[in-house]
Structures are given as structure tokens and as C-alpha cells.
Amino acid sequence: MGLFDRFFAKSATAVLHITSPNGFHLRPAAVFSAEAKKFAASIEAETRGQSIDAKNLNALLSLNLEKGDHFDLVCKGKDAEKALESLTAVFEKLMESDEAAENIDKATHAYEGSAFHGDIIAQGIAIAPFWRYSERHSQEANGTDFHTALANTADILEREYKANKTRPEGTIFLAQRSLLETLSQDVQTIEAFESAINSAIAALEGGAMASKITDYRDLLGHVKNAMGYKTQVAWPASPFILLADDLLPSQVEQLPKTLEGVVLQKSSLASHTAILLRASGIPSLIVRDPVDAMQKPVILDGFAGVLVPNPTLHDFETAEHLLAQNRNQNKAQHTRRFDAATTTSGRKIKVLANVTDPASAKAAKEAGAEGIGLLRTEFLFQEKKPTFQEQTEAYKAIFSLFDDITVRTLDVGGDKALPYINLPKEPNPFLGIRGVRLFESHPDLIAEQLKAIFTAAEGKELKVMFPMVDSVESFTKAKAFAKEVADNENIDISAIAFGMMVEVPSVLFLLPEFNEVVDFYSIGTNDLNQYLYAIERTHPTLSLDPRSEALFRAIEKVASEAKKPVSICGELAGDGDATARLVNAGITTLSVSPGLVAQTKERIRHV
Ligand code: PEP
Ligand code: MG
């Protein structure tokens, strides 16, 4: 903005109060600064005599705003009022939806040896000697220049975000990527980048946002790593409990199999390291007292939240007993994974798996799945278009594993793009060319897929399902198209049943008509929920309740009005807190990710 414009610029101000128990931390601040960047206006956050550019994520974080603090949001420029209105709304939503790190209740304990009390990151028992974290750095770069290393790091974070998008911890990678962008602006060398990171860390030290310092260190580590400056850690080859001041979020994924537990001394429950450790299920504590890393076994009790550095014989017996009990619970579930899941009243519920390729189908078999309730074929198409031969082989490998298999035809569009097919750029892709609508826009691609599926079926019974069906006509047209493909290729498909996903709300009101034409239904709760509430399932700030009341009622309506078999294949099917209500609604088939099969069966046995 020029001097003249600035003088006459419209200005709009609001006071924003931090109400989240976690303060205005990295993830909400990343969403907020991204929103601010959408406006031409200059946007500043002013507090305690400081004024910073709110489009700069690092500057926002350096304000160290915690619960109870407030700041003035000052927008100046042509779209100042619009910016203020939008940012105020986004901010309020962010504060409302940001939940405090869950405080896990501590069990009582009866250890005889003295115990250090800590905060529980993740429950569980570990008995092993300590190993104090140490690392070695290589000094040699591999020739990758700084800017390429930055681009590679941004790509890695983007990939991590995409891979973890459906998990709450996925947004950590998105926030780290925005931070990387902010910190590398106008920076030309790794030395300048390191110095920007160090100044940012200095601004956070001792403040409310100190728990995010590891994210900054992580970014520096990523970029250096991409340039070839490796960090080497010689992890012990025998079981150990890791003792460290803190870990970087990215290190959690690289922890070795010999690791039994983690004790961090300078971390916090709100750190991204803690969030990722909890998600990984490794027994972990934060213990602030000075601890000696001795060579003898110690006890980490992640149920009672204590560390016993000098256990007595009796303490070992107690911990071993707890460990066995814990293992037995998981083991019992694991041992019974191939058994049928029958409710207490004797109703048998089928538990199938959602898979994407031959490897995940094999994993599903090993996990105890009784079939495949959803084969998401789009994953076979991801990098490059598979040939007809490649498709047929992949389907054959999968079909040979189970008798009960539901294949879904290509479901791209919305948030799922394919690099090699032209989908129109649409303002609302979730409401555009998606799923079964590709039968009209890309008939050759779909015809080849159907031919490969029919060829691989080799006359065996199979269910073929169409995604995003919104009207009876869209189903009958898709089925007629499939029949035409079979006729043209002279393939007998009399053993193939044709059904549909229930994921567009219009279907809920047309069930009597659908009953006349479909062979089965499978409820896609992920999309059905997003369309019921008009909230994109990937929306960064609006939160969609995965167990929403409207979703349950929609399922109950389908279960009572459908005259053909109904299963559920969206995420709700594997949500242990929903199992009882789904089963009581009359659902008899649940299709879940392979890792949830044993657990889902166990839940059903208690309904
Ligand atoms: C769903 O929408 O619930 C579903 C299972 O399909 P996807 O998540 O692949 O869109
Ligand atoms: Mg869907």
C-alpha cells in the first residue's frame, strides 16, 4: 500500500480473546494466518505494546498468547471489513474446536521403591533399562542446494499430511508446512535459515508456546537432512526405555522396534511429539525430576504415571503382572480375531475390511476380516494409469482371498484427484464431477475398469458397487453401462450383484424406488455426514461431528426402509463408541480398516 492509500485506507478493529486451554498455538495459528493471506488488507495483531503481521505464522506464534490473553486485530485497506469479519469468525471457531490434551486419570499403585511422578502421555507398562538419547551429525552436504532442499521438505510434509488427513494429528504436518513457508521467506542460505529458526526459538523459550519449539527444530532437521547433513542415532539392539529431554515430532515415526517406553524430561502434553507418541501407543511419560540413566531395568508405569528407578523384587512382580494383564487383553482380542462376532443376544454381525490393493487385502485376511466390504479401487490408479493387464492381475489377487467381496468402481473427484485425467477445475469439487458421474465424463476409463473387474471375477460371485449415486436414474444408467461392457466383451456376469453407496442425502428419500433396482446398499458415512451438514470432510476449521445425530438417524432410516442387504463402510463402522447403536439399528455388516477388525469384533461381543 502506498502512503496515500495507507492514509485513507479503511480500518477495522476487533479484540480477540484466547479461550482455548492450549492457547493460540501452532495449528490454529497456521489456519488463521492462511486465512489472513487471502485478503489484500494489511492485518496486524497488537498486544502488550507489540504489533506483528498476522499473515506471518512465526510472528503470530512469537506472541506466546495463552488462555485468558487477548489481542487487537487491526485490518487496514480496501477489504479491511471483510477481512475482519472473516478472521473473527475463523478465530472463534478455532478457539471453540481446539480441545485440551486429554488428561489421563492416574491409577493408584503400590510400588515399594521410591517413584517419580510424571504426566501420562500414553498408557502402558515398560520394564527395561534406560538408554539416554544421543545423536551424531555428519558434516558433509550431498550437493542438494538450499532451495531444492526447502522444496523437498515442503513435499514431504504435504505427503505426511495427506497420508494422515483422516487422523486428528494430521494437521500437525500442515501447520509445519506453513511454518516452513513463513520462515524461509527471503532466506537464501541454510545458515540464514538456521539463524531465523534460532531467533524464533529464542522468542518462544519460557513462553506459553515453548512446547512448539520442537516443531522449529524439526524443520531445520528436515531441511539439513535434505541437503545431506544426516543425524545418526545408534539405537540399542536390545529392549530399552528411551530417556530424552525431548524428541522431534518426526522422530516418533522412526523409533526402533526395541523401544519399550519413553520418558521425556522437557516436553509437554500439548507438544506435537506427545500427540504423536500417544497416537503410536508407546507407553510414555513426562518426568521432570532429574533421572540417572542406569544400566539396570526400571519400571515405567503409564497407568499410574510413575517411574520407579530402583524397583524391588516385589515391584517387578507387580509390573510384570500388570504387563501380562494388558498384553492378555490385547492378545485375547487378537486370538479371537478369526471367530465370529456374535452379540450377547446371539445375533451374528459380519465384520469385513476396507482395502485398497492386494497387500492390504492380505493384511485384512490376517487381521480376521470375513471378506472385503469396500475395495477402494482408486488407490490402484494413483501414480499412473494401470494397464488393463495390471488391473486384472491386481483384482485377481484380491478376489482369490475371500468369498465375500465388494468392489467399488473408481471414485475420483472431490478431494481425490488423478494426475493423468482431466477433471474440470470446479469451484465446489465435492459437488461436481465425482464418483459415478465419471461414467459420463470418462466412459473409456470406466469401461476398461469394468472389463478388468469382470475378467478377474472369472464367473465367481462378486458385488460391484457404484459411488455417489444420487438418483435412481444414475444407478440404472451405470448398471446398463456395465452390462453393455460385459456384452461387448462376451463376459457372463450373471453371478455379479450390483449395488450402491448410500452417501448422497437424496437417496434417503428415494429408498422405495431404489429397493426395486439395487441388489445391496453400503452406507458411506464419511460422505453422507459431510453432505448432511454441508461441511467439507477436509475443511480445516469447520468441524464435523463424526458421530452426528443426523448421521445416526439417516442410518436408522436406511436400516428400516431398505428391502435389500445393508452394510456400513464409512469410518463410523469402526468407531467403538458407535458399535452398539449401529448394531441396535439392525445393521448386520460392518466394514472397517484391517487394523480395527479384531477390536470391532470384540465390541460387538459386548453389545
Ligand atoms: C464414505 O464416504 O464413507 C466412504 C466409505 O467412501 P470414501 O471415504 O472412499 O469416500
Ligand atoms: Mg465416499
Residue 4, pLDDT > 50, answer no
pLDDT tens digits, residue range 135-193?
A: 998 878 888 999 999 999 999 998 888 777 666 677 889 899 999 999 999 999 999 99
Ligand 1 centroid from CA 365, angstroms: 21
Ligand 1 centroid from CA 346, angstroms: 30
pLDDT tens digits, residue range 418-469?
A: 878 888 888 888 999 999 999 999 999 999 999 999 999 999 999 999 999 9
Atom nearest to 378 CA in ligand 1: 9
CA distances from 234 to 94, 131, 133, 137 (A): 41, 11, 9, 12
Environment class of 516 (CB within 10 Å of its CB; exposed 0-12, middle 13-18, buried 19+): exposed
The ligand whose atoms approach the alpha carbon of 526 most closely is 1
Ligand 2 centroid from CA 421, angstroms: 20
Q: Assess whether the C-beta atom of 411 lies below 6 angstroms from ligand 1.
A: yes
Q: Which DSSP category does 596 fall into?
A: G
H or E element at residue 75 = strand 70-76
Please say if 17 is a catalytic residue: no
Atom nearest to 527 CA in ligand 1: 2
Please say if 569 is a catalytic residue: yes
Which three cell numbers, joined as nine digits, stand for 325? 494383564
Is 122 strand, coil or helix? strand
Ligand 2 centroid from CA 595, angstroms: 20
Residue 216 contacts residue 189 (beta carbons within 8 Å): no
pLDDT tens digits, residue range 113-122?
A: 999 999 999 9
Ligand 1 centroid from CA 460, angstroms: 26
pLDDT tens digits, residue range 525-575?
A: 999 999 999 998 877 677 788 899 999 999 999 999 999 999 999 989 998
Atom nearest to 374 CA in ligand 1: 5
Q: Assess whether the C-beta atom of 373 lies below 6 angstroms from ligand 1.
A: no
Name which of 44, 106, 40 is nearest 75 in CA terms.
44
Atom nearest to 525 CA in ligand 1: 3
pLDDT at 299: 97
Name which of 360, 359, 355 is nearest 374 in CA terms.
355
Could you give the CA distance from residue 216 to residue 269 in angstroms, rounded to a whole number? 17
Residue 185 backbone class (left: φ over 0; alpha: ψ -120 to 50; beta: rest): beta
Residue 428 backbone class (left: φ over 0; alpha: ψ -120 to 50; beta: rest): beta
pTM: 0.60
Helices (H) and strands (E) in the chain, counts: 20, 23
Could you give the CA distance from residue 222 to residue 154 in angstroms, rounded to a whole number? 9
Q: Assess whether the C-beta atom of 527 lies below 6 angstroms from ligand 1.
A: yes
pLDDT tens digits, residue range 212-245?
A: 999 999 999 999 999 999 888 999 999 999 999 9
Q: Assess whether the C-beta atom of 575 lies below 6 angstroms from ligand 1.
A: no
Around 185, how many Cα atoms within 13 Å sit in the side-chain half-sphere?
A: 11
H or E element at residue 224 = helix 213-226
pLDDT tens digits, residue range 36-67?
A: 999 999 999 999 999 999 999 999 999 999 99
Q: Assess whether the C-beta atom of 468 lies below 6 angstroms from ligand 1.
A: no
pLDDT at 142: 82
pLDDT at 7: 47
pLDDT tens digits, residue range 100-112?
A: 666 677 888 889 9
